[in-house]
Every structure is written in C-alpha cells, then in structure tokens.
Chain A
Amino acid sequence: MHRFAPLSILPLLFFLCVAFGGGAQETPHFSDDVAPEVLAQSLVNAMSDQEALGQTLMFGYPGQAPDPLILKRIQEQGLGGVKIFGWNATDLNVLAETVGRYQRESISTRFGIPLLVATDQEGGWVRHVKGESSITPGNMAIGADGLPYDAWKTGEIIGKELAAVGVNMNFAPTVDVFVDPRADVIGPRAFMADPGQTGILGLSFAKGHEVSGVIGTAKHFPGHGDTSEDSHGTLPTVNAPLSLLRERDLIPYRTLIAGGIPAIMVGHLAFPEITGNRVPATLSPVLLETLLRDELGFEGVAITDDLFMTGARSDGSPLDEVCYRAMTAGADLLLVSQGPNDHQAINSTLLERMKEEESFNARVRQAAARVIAMKARYIKGKNAVPLEPATEEMAIPAQEAPSFFLEQAARSITAVRSKRLPLPPEEAGKVLLAGFYPDFFTAGLERYEEAKTWKLTYQSDVASYQQRGRELLRAAQNYDTVIVLLPDEDMAILLEELEPIASKVIVLSVLSPAHLDALSWAQTSLAAYGTGEESFKAAFAALAGDFTPQGTLPIPLQSVP
C-alpha cells in the first residue's frame, strides 16, 4: 500500500495545477503587475471577439447623467471608451459623478480594464469641459512667445483640471502647421507657421499632460492647416504632394513620435496627390499604414476623428461600413459621437466580420492590444487619473492657473506696429473703446477710466459692416484715441472704414492675427491671441506701458516685413 500512496495523489496534484496554477495564466487581470505590452497581449489572447472589439470603440452619449445604454455596452460589449462633449460637461460635479459611475461599471467586468474618458480641451476656444475650467490664451499665444515651458505648463494645468473630473485622455495638442490664413477652422488652434517649433511646443504640451496623468493626442494627422474647409460639414481636400507634407505638416509628428506621444488623431481630410483618390485619411491604408506606421515609425494608438462627421461619410456609406474601413485601414480606436442605433449597428457588423474574416479578427485584436497597452501605461499606478474623482471641492480652476495664464498672455503680446506705444492714460486724451467681449471693456476701462464704449455687432452682409464702420468713424471724430478690437475677417471690413483717422486708431487683434493685413494702414497695432480675461488684461497693460511687449508674430503677414 505504501508504495502506491504517492502515486495515488498524482492525479490530484495534476488537477490542482490545472485549476490554480494554469488558471491564473488563463485569466489575466488589468491589475497584474507585468509590462504594459505583455499584459495587453495576454488580455487580448484571453478575450472573446466581443471583448476585444469593445476596446477599440469610443462612443459619445446624450445628457449629463450616466447613460443607461452606455452602461449596458460597458457591461455587455466591453466598451473601451467614452467621449465627453460640451453637452455632457456643463456641471463639473455631475460630470465627475457620471465618469465615476462609468468606471465602476468598467472595472467590474472580468478583466477589470478601466475606460478611456476623452475630451477636446485644446486650450483657447476649443473647450468642451466647461464650468469653472480655465480659459487659456491658447496655442497661438504660446507660438508667439515660443517658450516650451509655457506649452508644458499649459499642458500640465489643463491636464490637472481634466484629471480632477476623471478625464484621462485629451485630444490635444493640435499640431497642425498654420499654412493658410483663410483656414479659420484651425486658425489660432495652431501654434504657428514654423513646423519645427510647432513640434517642440506640441511635445512640451503633451509632456505637461503626462505629468498630470492625462494621455495626450496629437492631431489632425497628417495636417489640417492647408485647408479652409471644416471636416464637420464636408470632406476637405489638401492638394499637396507627399514631398511638401514631409517638409511641413509631418515634421511636428516626427518630433512627437520621437518623444513618445501615446496617441495620434487622424483627420477626415483627402490627399488626392498622395493616395490617388478622395478617400479621407481616416480610411486610407496609404496614410495610416505606409506613412504613419512604416515611414514615421509610430507604434502608439491611432484614433479616428469623429466618424459621425460628414467628412468621413462623404461617399454616402453607412456608418458601420465606414468603421469597418477605418479599422481595416489601420485605425486602432474608432470615435463615434452620436446615434445610439448607429452604435448598435457598428458593434454587430464589426463582430460579424470578425467571425467571417480571420485577417480582420487579427486586425481588431492588434488594435485592442495597442489600446490596452496605452491604458496600462497611463491609467494605472500612482500618477493615474482617478477612476472615481471626488465630486466636491474640485481644484478647478487649478490654483496657479489665473496667475500663470496672465503671465503667459503677457509674454505673448506682440507689438505689430508701435507708433503710439506706450500709451499711458494721461497721453491718450479722450478714448473710445470699440469691441464686444465684456472682458475687453472691463480691462480697457481699468486702464482708461474715462473712456466711452461702442459695441461692435455681428452684421448680415458686407454693406451693413461698411455702414456700421462709417457710423463708428463719425462717432470717433470726438475722440483722440480709438481702441478697436479685431477678432476676425468680418470686423476687419467694418474697421477698414477708419482709415481716414488712421493716426487715432489702435488695433487690438485677438485669435489669429492674419486679419491685420486688411488694416495695414494702422500705425499702432497689438496682437493678443486669447479671448479670456487674462489676455485682455495683458494687452491693455502692454498698451498702457506696464511692460514692453516681447512676443513675435507666429505667422507671417504680407504687410509686415
């Protein structure tokens, strides 16, 4: 009997090995302490088709409260990400609570993988998370002072404010090179016209995000700067050969990829001279694989711009088909903002194709592995954005934000023409302020206390702008100094009427300074870029002579040598 005893427990030992030892290998968990890529691969290997597919999808939702449909998709389809739009983010306490609810649902699934919670908080005027979050001077203000520190600190503060509400991914920095002055869609969202500097500032911004635990995303690959069309309504076309793209739009991406940018957003832009057709970059293997992966060597996550936008669907294809094509072309994360029915169709069509086509199945799993590896690198550990953000006493705006953005705005102020600079109140005589942002008037009246105000208003046509311009000209006869706000091309038409009193006029340009060319007769003009309180304070401080403006024009003007 003795001889057989050890043998008789062998099957039991074997069973224990399979049940426990082997079992641990077969159900990996997001919290396992292994290298991101290794963890991602073992998770994807253990996943059903549905679970792998879920990781490659990012959906929007209506309203501010947790959406039952999204919760259901997280639980049943392993949805990997949600996108926060302005309509989800007016009350930041509610937003934080909603994000926490989604994350609880997500980490309760069997692999415990948290969601990507993404938004567009570029700085400047693209600001989807609203409430008390900072209104920053924006990319072009950073381009004007050219300081990587300012890009880094801006990225850090925006990142900190996003982290406070649980947003762990931001579709910023915008590194489109400013090419076309008429490109209003990008305009001041670009840093500047210099591609090399754009790359350095973009990378610094992304590194600032990293400090706050937020995943930065460079966009809009391969470059949105050379078109005045907006991909929300049409499919913009960039008629540039690859050689030009390599010398210009792709340069920032080389810098960012070398610096380890985790994600790149691909735009709905057609490049017929490169691809030979009008297929948007989002759906083009030539741009996604040959250019982004093979030539530039990007190994991170390629995310599509919102596929709901008409630019992606310009040939009339249904949304699920567009998603299939984007994934096949090489995108890893598909962003679809709207349409609960569409979301359902996308999931079922892609799942069906995974079962039918082995190569598509492998493509989805490759994409899922990239997404999970990025999550493992960022949404884990001490520096990670909290999954359940505190909903009270959130540090928004960040404590240092107002003073830093005031300093940054001051560094960006550019004296384009300096005839009457500086202009202390006692030398200004009778002052008229013509503009419309409340902060413009407040900051102006703080400096020129006796000034009168004149409101610039939106008009329906050129003739009405000119007529309003002549009215302003008449009103200006009684003043010694007329400080006018120049925010866009339309107001430039109105302000052109002031040429007869050129010496009295001081132009304060905000956003893109490109429109200063229309007022080349002005003898005194300043560029300020931002439209927040800090930008106007800084501009009037420079005008009144508190400091000498040191910013340089981030884009070339025809009227300035």
Chain B
Amino acid sequence: MSWKPVSSHLAPSCMQFLEQKEWRHVSLTARLGKKRPQRGRAGDGKIWCRVTPEHQVNGVLFLSRSGVVIPTCDEITHQDQQELTPLLHSFFPSLFSFMGTRSTVLQLEAVMKEAPPDAQDYRLLVLKNPVAKPARTEPNIMVRQATLDDLNQIWPLEREYYDEEVLRQGRTLSKSVGIKMLRNTLEQQVVYCVLYHNQIIAKANTNARGRQFDQIGGVFVPPSLRGKSLGRLVMNALLSHIASENRSACLFVKKDNTPALSLYHGLGFEDQGAFRINYWR
C-alpha cells in the first residue's frame, strides 16, 4: 500500500471511495463536486490517496490551500504514519487544522513534532430515520427558507452563534469577514429561519452539500429562547427540505452539548462515532 497524489486515472476510484462513507467528510466531497480533483503537487499537494496493490483507493488525505487537512480512511496504520510524516512536516508552516474522525486525527497528531495548541471533540451524527414534517405556519411563529434579503436580520444571530459555538476562546470574527461568509451561505446553502411576526429569532442551515449528504450547521436559538422547541421547529423544516430532494443529512456536535444531542436523536439522527478538529495556530 502506498500514498500518492491523485492522478486522473485514480480520480474515479477516489470519488467512489469518498462516496462510501460520505458523512465523515461532506465538506470534502462538496469541494470536489465543484470541480474535478486536480493533480497534486509535492509539498503542498491537494489530494493524496492510499492505493492498494489492486489499484483501489482506500484512504484519502486532503490538504487545502488554507491549511486544513482532512484525512479520511478507516484507520491510519504505522506504515501510513511513516509514509505521511514528511508530507505533513513539509506542510507544517501553513498548517491550520486537522479535521476528521477522532482516531484518524489523533494518529496524525502523533507524527507531528509538537501537540496542537487547541482541539475540540465532537460526535458525528447521521440521519437514519428521518421524521420529515412540513413547516408549521401561523401568524406569530412561522418557519421559512431564508434568502439573501434576510442577511442583515440573520447577522446578529450568526455572530452570537460564532461566539458561542465556533470561535475559540479569545477570538473574534470581524464583521466584514462574517458578513461575507454569511452571504456565501445564503447564496449557496439551504438556510431556514424561525420568525416571530417577521423577525428572525432562530436559524439552521446546511454548511456543505456533498454528493448524497448535506452537512448541517449553524443551528442556533438564542439562550433566552431555549426550551420552546424552536430548534426542533427549524430543524424539521430544514430536514424536510433535504428529504424533498432525496438527500440525507449529517452533522457534528460538541460532545458535551447535551440539549443539542437529545434534539438530534429525537429527530432520527444516530451516533457514528467521535469526530475531532484540532488547531495549530
């Protein structure tokens, strides 16, 4: 077995492998869906794959330009560690983060010269028994899909969500970057919101749309409004939209966020193991 940069004749086998357990790496299949995988260059190669003697791909390592490494394979062996060490070390100066199943991320962390200064553990959930219900509509509380016109109303919620769920201690999100990202989300993803008399009070969206799976993120109800099933309401609508396109859903959630975990289990999500994101700078 050996790791090589993906070439055009490996690309189909590579995609086939990625589609098998897509929920582990939707952000990756979503990126690859946009354009064909490109030939990697040594040093800062984009996609590397692990090839069996039978020329089958059974592992993929993606290195993004922005320094995110997404490993995806059932396990990283001692041999993999040896083969990947020079690649990861050469990538180190531009390294930002590893994201993947907890075991693969830990095995890759082990080959680095130092431990990552920060990391977060999540649970990976996949929707197994969808209970799709159309959105309830009445004059005071209604749920609908959000559009670009809602940008200014959603922004304060999104900022609060980033502060509470995404950003690491002491970090802030600049307004211009945040608005730009939110604009992209509204343009390219499916965003649903709960409205109280036309004022947006809660939200949920997809943050990556892969081949068969949509990865859900940005599920946010402000602290003062929790416990009123607004999360369930907005998730129902979003999942119903996803089901209407015959697609499936997955997400990762912080491992000790009990209210969110119980909401997701109630909606038909099942636990698929531990997930981890670490940060190198």
Q: Which residues of A contact B (CB under 8 A)?
A: 60, 62, 86-87, 90, 125-126, 184-185, 187-188, 230, 232-233, 306, 308-310, 337-341, 436-437, 458-461, 464, 487-490, 511-512, 531
* Closest chain B residue to A490, Cβ basis: B140
* Closest chain B residue to A87, Cβ basis: B145
Complex interface: stretch among B37-45, B87-95, B129-137, B164-172: B129-137
* Closest chain B residue to A124, Cβ basis: B139
29 residue pairs from A and B, CB less than 8 Å apart: A60-B244, A62-B244, A87-B241, A90-B149, A187-B138, A187-B139, A188-B139, A230-B137, A230-B138, A232-B135, A232-B136, A232-B137, A233-B136, A306-B134, A310-B133, A337-B244, A339-B246, A340-B245, A458-B201, A458-B225, A459-B225, A460-B224, A460-B226, A460-B227, A460-B228, A461-B227, A512-B139, A531-B197, A531-B198
A232 touches B227 (CB 8 A): no
Q: How far is the CB of A337 from chain B (nearest CB, A)?
A: 7
B140 touches A184 (CB 8 A): yes
Knowing A233-B133, A338-B244, A460-B225, the reply to whether A437 touches B198 (Cβ < 8 A) is yes
Knowing A458-B199, A460-B226, A464-B224, the reply to whether A86 touches B145 (Cβ < 8 A) is yes
A488 touches B246 (CB 8 A): no
- Most B-side CB within 10 Å, residue of A87, A185, A340: A87
B139 touches A339 (CB 8 A): no
A436 touches B197 (CB 8 A): yes
Interface string of B93-132 (1 = CB under 8 A from A): 0000000000000000000000000000000000000001
Query: Which residues in B have their C-beta under 8 angstroms from that of A464?
Result: 224
* Closest chain B residue to A138, Cβ basis: B139
What 9 pairs between A and B have smallest CB-CB spacing? Answer: A338-B244, A458-B196, A488-B140, A90-B147, A87-B145, A62-B245, A184-B138, A232-B136, A460-B225
Give the complex CA separation of A470 and B140 in angstroms: 22
Q: How far is the CB of A121 from chain B (nearest CB, A)?
A: 14
A126 touches B240 (CB 8 A): no
For the complex, is B243 an interface residue (Cβ under 8 Å from A)? yes
Give the complex CA separation of A174 and B80 in angstroms: 66
Q: From DSSP, what is the main secondary structure of chain A's interface residues?
A: loop
Q: How far is the CB of A466 from chain B (nearest CB, A)?
A: 15
Interface string of B47-90 (1 = CB under 8 A from A): 00000000000000000000000000000000000000000000
Tell me the B3-36 residues at the A interface (CB within 8 Å): none
Q: How far is the CB of A95 from chain B (nearest CB, A)?
A: 13
From A232, A341, A487, A512, contact of B134 by CB (8 A): A232
Q: How far is the CB of B127 from chain A (nearest CB, A)?
A: 15
Query: Which residues in A have their C-beta under 8 angstroms from that of B265?
Result: none
Give the complex CA separation of A488 and B240 in angstroms: 28
Query: Which residues in A have their C-beta under 8 angstroms from that of B140?
Result: 184, 487-490
For the complex, is B144 an interface residue (Cβ under 8 Å from A)? yes
Q: How far is the CB of A451 from chain B (nearest CB, A)?
A: 20
From A233, A309, A487, contact of B197 by CB (8 A): A487
Q: How far is the CB of B233 from chain A (nearest CB, A)?
A: 10
* Closest chain B residue to A186, Cβ basis: B138
Knowing A90-B147, A338-B240, A460-B228, the reply to whether A230 touches B199 (Cβ < 8 A) is no
Query: Which residues in B have their C-beta under 8 angstroms from that of A531?
Result: 197-198
* Closest chain A residue to B247, Cβ basis: A62
Give the complex CA separation of A338 and B147 in angstroms: 20
* Closest chain B residue to A309, Cβ basis: B134
Query: Which residues in B have their C-beta under 8 angstroms from that of A185?
Result: 138
Give the complex CA separation of A511 and B244 in angstroms: 32
* Closest chain B residue to A340, Cβ basis: B246
Give the complex CA separation of A339 and B197 in angstroms: 29
Query: Which residues in A have their C-beta under 8 angstroms from that of B244?
Result: 60, 62, 337-340
Give the complex CA separation of A305 and B224 in angstroms: 36
From B135, B139, B147, contact of A184 by CB (8 A): B139
